[in-house]
Chains A and B, each alone.
Chain A
Amino acid sequence: MKKFVLTGQVVNNKQISNGIYHMAVHAPQIAEAAQPGQFLHVKKPDGANFLRRPLGVADVDKSQGTVGIMYRILGKGTTEFSRMAAGDELSIVGPIGNGFVLKDGQPLIVGGGMGMAPLIYLADMLKDKKPIVLIGGRNKDEIFWQEYMKKFTDRIYVTTDDGSAGVKGFTTTLLPQLLQKNVVDDIYTCGPDIMMRGIAKIAYEYGKTCQVSLEKRMACGIGVCLGCTFPGKQSGRRRKVCTEGPVFPAEEVF
């Protein structure tokens, strides 16, 4: 699939939760090509960071030619992103990698933390199937993602570590109940490795297909630096998160 290097214009950039931002960028070629689960490798031209940052495609508006990314302020680079305003330019390489394979069956989407961002676009693409969505967070402030998911489904479940919203516990606490209660064929997940490992294990026990979206440090995003590779479980060969992923069948990873 063709990748582009281009400069997109920021349409808006706003804080959506504490320290978490959504940036919409006008980049029609990318908006046209991006699939759910793919990511963009972005950099503020002449910005503080040397390397680009990989950020999942959170939403796409083909009619406006815009693509959305979400990020949490973690350091100098993301602080700089947060100060960007409409009209500023963002350098983009993308869309990168292989996204989720959209299956025919009833989808269940499980996300934790910033892993929710690419799942929003996925939910949009799967909205005709009314996906079941399971969101995990440490506390009630971390489950604002419901607002975004509401547009695509009314079947949303929440867990928080401290019990301040939804069910007390982890997504893996609630998942078996959901699988028992609902018809689910395919699980799609993105979030911390430890969460995805648990989800994959339960999916396996219940005989469901499961796709996981990985996040790894990388420098190039185009398959040359080998910063993001890992040993494939089934294939027995080194896999590149940037170009062969970031989405893999769970059995290839965990």
Chain B
Amino acid sequence: MEKKKISLAVDIGKLHLKNPVMGASGTFGFGREYEDFLDVNEIGAIVTKGITPLPRAGNPGVRIAETPSGMLNSIGLENPGLDVFIKEILPEIKHYDTPVIVNISAGTVEDYAKMAYALDIDGVDALEVNISCPNVKEGGIVFGTDPKSAAAVTKAVKGHTKKTVIVKLSPNVTDIAVMAKAVENAGADAVSLINTLTGMAIDINKRTVLLGNVTGGLSGPAVKPVALRMVWQVAQAVKIPIIGMGGIANGEDAVEFLLAGASAVAVGAYNFIDPAAVKHAADGIEAYMESNGICNLLEIIGKVKVQG
């Protein structure tokens, strides 16, 4: 009997992905850093480190703390700024045979719009609008916790680009589905979730906080159940595609997110442990499909059974 051909391809707005696994913003650099460990052309997409209108030095140290089943970071959006990204970095990464999604953060609606306009150029395949960085005011979190503001940013970005617009939502809200609805109504092509959960850690011997910025963003396996729940809730509330992330370490984790309603997923903190994790997660999804006789991702996406 002929073996059925498995397709991992999926579309997010105008984006066509070979497979549904991306490297999450802030954990995948600009893709180049992973060339020793995997073929970047084979991954679903690169989501760049968050770019801001001007260069940012980030927060004072200590910026990283280990936590049970995860980590806290308070990097504070250190990045070279929009101009350097366009002039120096984009030319080096646009040749990849995989979509480049540029993550953008700003402090005002106008700045989001300006960045969207400036990035409406060859080599950029989509924008991920970060309204959820918990570590700096200018990271958009003020927009990420108020539905009206989130809608205003989304509308402004949509009005200044022809690219696919993905809005990255914060878990640090009372009801993430309300936020997702608000950006869907404002024209977002997709949503991605979750960004990190705000957390804190203390050294009891020194009686000091561990992070220079006091609080930081929690990521890693510790946040997976929260992220999965939020993806499922948002999937009930919106029709646009969801990119799910939060504690994904392998193909099995990724399949959970797809079943919960995500059309694609991103690996975040686990890239730090296994630099080929994005590839391994995609291979794991394929192995799951093969062993379950599934040919197309659409047979999995949102197909979790809820009893009762």
Contacts and interface: CB of A to CB of B under 8 A. Distances in A.
Interface of A: 2-5, 43, 49-52, 77, 93, 216-231, 238, 243
B78 A229 contact: yes
A49 B37 contact: no
Which secondary structure characterizes the binding site on chain B? Answer: loop
Q: Which 9 A-B pairs have the closest CB atoms?
A: A224-B29, A227-B64, A220-B272, A217-B64, A219-B272, A227-B63, A3-B36, A226-B78, A223-B33
Interface in B1-60: 26-29, 33-34, 36-37, 49, 57-58
B41 to A, nearest CB: 18
21 contacts: A2-B36, A5-B37, A50-B220, A50-B273, A216-B61, A217-B61, A219-B73, A220-B27, A223-B33, A224-B29, A224-B271, A225-B75, A225-B272, A226-B49, A226-B58, A226-B63, A226-B78, A227-B64, A229-B58, A238-B58, A243-B33
Contacts of A220: 27, 271-272, 275
A51 B75 contact: no
Contacts of A217: 61-65
A27 B134 CA distance: 40
A4 B37 CA distance: 7
A216 to B, nearest CB: 7
A196 to B, nearest CB: 16
A153 to B, nearest CB: 35
Contacts of B37: 3, 5, 222
Which secondary structure characterizes the binding site on chain A? Answer: loop
B272 to A, nearest CB: 4
Interface residues of B, number: 34
Contacts, number: 87
A52 B272 contact: yes
Given A2-B36, A216-B61, A224-B33, A51 B274 contact: no
Contacts of A49: 66
Contacts of B62: 217
B66 A225 contact: no
A219 B29 contact: no
A231 B27 CA distance: 21
Contacts of B269: 50, 219
Contact of A222 (B34, B64, B68): B34
A149 to B, nearest CB: 31
Nearest to B23: A224
Contacts of A77: 66
Nearest to A218: B64
A5 B275 contact: yes
A20 B68 CA distance: 24
Given A5-B37, A50-B221, A216-B61, A226 B75 contact: yes
Contacts of A231: 57
B276 interface: yes
Given A5-B37, A224-B49, A238-B57, A51 B272 contact: yes
B147 interface: no
Nearest to A2: B36
Interface in B97-151: none
Given A4-B36, A228-B63, 10 more contacts: A5-B274, A49-B66, A50-B70, A217-B65, A219-B64, A222-B34, A222-B37, A222-B275, A225-B26, A238-B57
Of the candidates A3, A217, A219, A228, the one having the most CB atoms from chain B within 10 angstroms of its own CB is A219
B108 to A, nearest CB: 24
A225 B61 CA distance: 13
A93 B275 contact: yes
B185 interface: no
Interface in B160-199: none
Contacts of A223: 29, 33
A3 B38 CA distance: 11
A50 B271 contact: no
Contacts of B273: 43, 50-52
